[in-house]
Structures are given as C-alpha cells and as structure tokens.
Chains A and B, each alone.
Chain A
Amino acid sequence: MVLQAVPQTRFTEEHEMFRKSVRAFVEKEIRPYVDEWEEQEIAPLHDLFKKMGDLGFLGLNYPEEYGGAGADIWYTVVLAEELARAGAAGIPMAVFVQTDMATPALAKHGSHELKQKYLTPAIRGEMVCAIAVTEPNAGSDVAGIQTRAERDGDEYVINGSKMYITNGTQADWLCLLARTSPGEGYQGMSLIIVPTNLPGFSVSKKLKKLGNHSSDTAVLSFENVRVPVSNRIGEEGMGFYYQMEQFQVERLVGALGGVAGAEYTVRDTIKYCQERKAFGKPLIANQWIQFKLAELLTEIEAAKQLNYSCAALIEAGADGMEITRIASMCKLKAGRLMREVADTCLQFYGGMGYMEETPISRYFRDARLTSIGGGADEIMLGIIAKLENMNPR
C-alpha cells in the first residue's frame, strides 16, 4: 500500500492542477538535464528561469502589477514540494533564491520604479538575481558585516566582498546588505539593489562544494561600485530588519522543499529495499529496516504539518514574531531530519549508496546544507530561545 498524507483541504482543485503542471515541467525540463548540470557545476538559469517565468511560476506571491500571480501561500508550498523532485537540491535552491530569498524585501519595501526595473524582470525570468549577505568574516553574525556603501551625492560607493553567494556567477542583480553609515552592530545597514554589470564589480571565485553541485556559488568583490541612491530598498538604516524579515519565507521554503525531498528519498529507499535481496529475502523483510523507515515517515509527516502550520500563519497574516518563531522551528527540524534521512537511507542502500552516481549519494551530499545555509541550526535555536524569553533577565 502507498502511504498517503492526510488529505489537505488547503489544496484546492486549482492547487492540484498547478501541482500537475509543475510536476510535468520538472519531469521534462529539469530532470533530463540535472546530471549534466551537476557535472558542469552550474545550471543555465537564464534559460530555465525564462521558461518558468513564462508559465508564471516565479512570482506566485507577488502583485499582478509587477507580473506576479497574487496567489496564496499554498501555491508556493506546491512549488517547493514539486521542485524537490528535481533530482538535485541545487536547482530548487537556485529557483527559491530568485523567488523567495532575494526578492521579498524589494517587493515589500522597494519603490515602484525599483520594482518595475528589477522585480518585474525577475518574475518574468528575464533577469537572474542573488542575495548577498554573508561575508568572509561574517556569516551567522549578520551584524558583523563590513561591506560599505558610502554616500557620494546621489550615489552609493560600494566596497567589500561577499561570500558563498548562490547564483553568484550568473546573477544580473544582487540584493546586497551593506553598511550605509559608520559604526557597528544592527544599526546603519541598508539593502541595496546592485546590478552586476557595473564597473568595479567582479566574481572573484566560483566555489567548489560538497554538494548542491548544480548550483553555482561565488565570492563577489566590490571596488568602488557606484549605484544610484534610488537603488536602496526602503529606508536607510533598516537593512538588517528587512533582511531578518526576508529570512522568514526563505526558511519556510527551505524547510518545505527539504521535507518533501526527504519523503521522496524514504519512499525510493522502501522500493529499493523491496527489490534488493539478502539472505534469501528482500531487505525490507527485516523488521529493523521497516521500523526505521516507518519512524522516518512519521517524523516527516510531523515536520510537514509543522511547515503547513507556518504557511497557514503567513497566509493568515499573523504576527511577524510568531511567524519567525515557527519558521525557525521548521528550518531546524527540516535540517536535522534531512541529515537523519540521508544517513539512514544511504545505509540501507549499502555499497550501492556509496557510489557517486546514485541519487542517494547525491542526496546525502546535498541534504547537509539545510542545517548550515540561511542561518545554522544553532542560530535557529538562538532565535527560538530568545522568542521564548529564555534569557536571564
């Protein structure tokens, strides 16, 4: 029998049609090329995003005025769950950087002109974008960033470098977090849209990674890069707060895709264990294996429902702090569960699982990232503890 999730009344007939369409797209436009992209350590995002943009997949939550769909959050849930079938985590990551990591602050706080110039083409898939926060000396500690954007008349002059930037070698613009006033800490930072065709900008290095090979990751360098002050998103000095807000959806989307990918992996492992024989019977005949996999499916179902509650909070327009609390739990849970799923399932594949070309070995490598990127597990725990008022008074 095929285990099925509790029927989700949140998903209407239209959501299910959307699911079919994304699934067919992944099946025909992504899966056949994923091995090649993994090999080349980059995917042709301009080409892929254009196709997705034409179908309206890249602006689900954004206003129709800018080419978005103005759809509810459940479409994003469907997109995350179906893109997780891509066969490599690098592809959904590249897509979600575009749709839910580099663009939410622009959509929410950007000026009309800025949105027309950068959000609309991102939604249409005509421009690739990236989110540039992390630096060589500041990752978890976002408040420690040093990249500066100094005011000179109507322009900011940007100097510094950014590290581990997804889509970084092919992005047309960056949503950059930089210091716009002297000093340290949370104050004085702004989010600025930086086109990558400006003098002084360069990709200093394309990075080699443990996993997510099909996604390009870069070190970026800024030497006296001049952008108009009008490229700033919202108010000066609010960058850190906008970025924290922008992290919410990013974390939920990462958790949604991660949990969906974990579920596909466990189901594939069940199939493999039904076929592979040892000691005269299929592997799955061992109660140990059945129980381990049953346990994982239970954890996955619980994590999925946690993600859905977070989506429901966002849809209901709940208090930002409450969304942050639950979204942080979602990402923490997903990251840990993915590691457990990757390790357990690879074990049941035996030697086959250790072979480079098998999907489970790719999953094993890819699954490690969720506990680090977009805020490490410990950072999630810190946020949860803080919002639960655990700190001594």
Chain B
Amino acid sequence: MHVVVFTRSTPDTAAKVEVDGSGAVIWGNAATVVNPWDEYALEEAIVQAKNGGGKATVIALGGEMHNDALKHSLAMGLDEAIRIDDPELDPTDSLAYATAAAAAVNKIGDVDLVIFGKESVDVGTDQHTYMLARKLGWTMLSYVSKILEVDYAAKTIKVEKMYEQGKQVVTSKLPAVISVMKEINEPRYPSFIGIRKAGKATIPVWSLADLGASLPDKKVDVLAFNNPPTKDVVVEMIEGEPEEQAAKLVDKLLEEKVL
C-alpha cells in the first residue's frame, strides 16, 4: 500500500510577486515555501499511509527550487521524496505534468491513493489533477474535506466533498486521485528530528527517460506575463446629514450601475 502526494515550492504568499522588465516573474529575495494548500495533502498522506500500514512518497515536478518543498515534506514525516526534472518538461503545461506524473505513479507501482492540495497558489490551477486521474484511468475525487472510511483490502474509499452549496458524501473504488481542502486536517510542524532526517536526505531526480515517458505535443503556449493594470481610484466625499448622504450614495450607485 502506497500513498503518493504531489507538491511544489511557491513564493511565500507574503512576497510581492511581479513581472520584471524582461518579462520574467520575480519575487525579490523572498523565500519559497511549500505550496500552502499542499500542507494539508502532505499531512493527509502521512496519516493515510500510517493507517494503511504503508508508505508515503512525495513528488515534485520541476527544477531545484522544488527541493525546498520536498525537504519540508520529509521534515514533516513523508517517507520518501522524488523530483522529476527534464529539460523537455515544462511543469506549468498541465498535460505534460499529468503525463510525467502518471508515469511516475506507475513506476512506483502499488499506489492506492494520490493526493493533491486543492490548487497551486502561484499558478492558480488544478487541471493537472484531473488530467492525471484520466491518464491513470482512476477516479477523481476533488475538494475532499474529510476521508470518512478507507478499506485498503476491499479497495474502497468514502469521502466528504465540499462545495459552495454544501457537502456531498461519495464512495468510490481505489485507486483514486483526490484533492483536499484545508478543512481536512491540521498540518503538523516539522519536528527537529524530521528536519535532521530531511537535511541528510539526497533526493533522487527522475528524468523522462527514467520514467519511459514521452510528452504529448504542447497544448498551451505562454506568450507573456504582465503585471495587472493599476487602477485609478477616485475618492469622492459625500457631504450632508446621514439621510442625505445615504440618498446621494444610492443615486450614485444607480448611476454607476452598481445596483
């Protein structure tokens, strides 16, 4: 029994991310952090692997910057970490990501569960999670807020999914790919012992050749990154008694078609 969780390093959410003169995305010298959504996925992977008496492996796709996230994962208590990196591979291309990720899951073998955080904070996408499930031919269970039951022998899972409108309880066959919400658990902090272990670990890097994977043609071309336009804000003070102010405000809002 094996749980695989995918993660990546992202700029700290407090960092100021912008596009520089050459069109590159920069965030000064701010540190990278493990994608905040992934902390819940990592915690869940540790818990599920322990409950199922198996192993939890964390994988990141991309360059050395992602070692930070992998080391953080090991420090939290993941059993193994792997980085997939190849000059051919652009992990921001979701289909390429899913293709390489599926090859890695197949290479590992006895995987019952693949866990993702809800999305990546930096690129704001989750389509690679669905694509991976499709590539593997497994069920996709998104927005999981609670794992209610798992039977690794009978290969079934029962989860609670969270939507804006409410909650849904579904059962499914394993293996499955799930993406988790922050309601699912309280991620642990890396312990001193975990940090020691992570510090000593060397993280294997798998190439596409190691995976025996060949990528599909690129479906997406990123043409350019731009800073969001700065908005000109005009402040207008409305004078008068509260009643008058309210009436004037309503007129304005109607005029501007806000109401």
Contact = CB atoms under 8 A, between A and B. Distances in A.
A85 to B, nearest CB: 14
B75 interface: yes
Nearest to B30: A2
Contacts of B226: none
A272 interface: no
B193 A17 contact: no
B59 interface: no
Nearest to A59: B192
Contacts of B75: 17, 21
A17 B66 CA distance: 14
B191 interface: yes
B47 to A, nearest CB: 16
B190 interface: yes
A57 interface: yes
Contacts of B189: 21, 24-25, 55
A343 to B, nearest CB: 30
A71 B190 CA distance: 16
Contacts of A24: 189
A57 B199 contact: no
Interface of A is mostly: helix
A12 interface: yes
B195 interface: yes
Contact of B71 (A17, A55, A56, A71): A17
B191 A17 contact: no
A57 B190 CA distance: 11
Contacts of B195: 14, 17-18, 21
Interface in A26-70: 54-57, 60, 69
A13 interface: yes
B88 to A, nearest CB: 29
B196 interface: yes
Contacts of A69: 192-193, 196
B5 interface: no
A84 to B, nearest CB: 18
B192 A13 contact: no
Contacts of A13: 71, 199
B196 A55 contact: no
B199 A60 contact: no
Contact of A14 (B33, B191, B196): B196
Contacts of B190: 17-18, 20-21, 55
A246 to B, nearest CB: 23
B192 A55 contact: yes
A60 B71 CA distance: 20
Interface string A267-302: 000000000000000000000000000000000000
Nearest to B188: A55
Instruction: Determine which residue in B190, B195, B199 has the highest number of CB atoms from chain A within 10 A of its CB, and name it.
Output: B195
A82 to B, nearest CB: 12
Contacts of A21: 75, 189-191, 195
B246 to A, nearest CB: 30
B198 interface: yes
A203 B235 CA distance: 61
Contact of B191 (A12, A20, A54): A54
Contacts of B2: none
Interface string A84-116: 000000000000000000000000000000000
Given A17-B71, A17-B72, A17-B75, A56 B199 contact: no
Nearest to B74: A17
Contacts of A75: 192
A55 B191 contact: yes
Interface string A299-338: 0000000000000000000000000000000000000000
Contacts of B31: 20
Interface string B23-45: 00000000101000000000000
Nearest to A4: B29
Interface string B168-202: 00000000000000000000011111011011000
Contact of A71 (B191, B192, B198): B192
Interface string B50-80: 0000000000000000000001100100000
Nearest to A23: B189
Contacts of B196: 14, 69
Nearest to A56: B192
Nearest to A12: B199
B138 to A, nearest CB: 33
21 contacts: A12-B199, A14-B195, A14-B196, A17-B72, A17-B75, A17-B195, A20-B31, A20-B33, A20-B72, A20-B190, A21-B75, A21-B190, A21-B195, A25-B189, A55-B189, A55-B190, A55-B192, A60-B192, A69-B196, A71-B192, A75-B192
Interface of B: 31, 33, 71-72, 75, 189-193, 195-196, 198-199
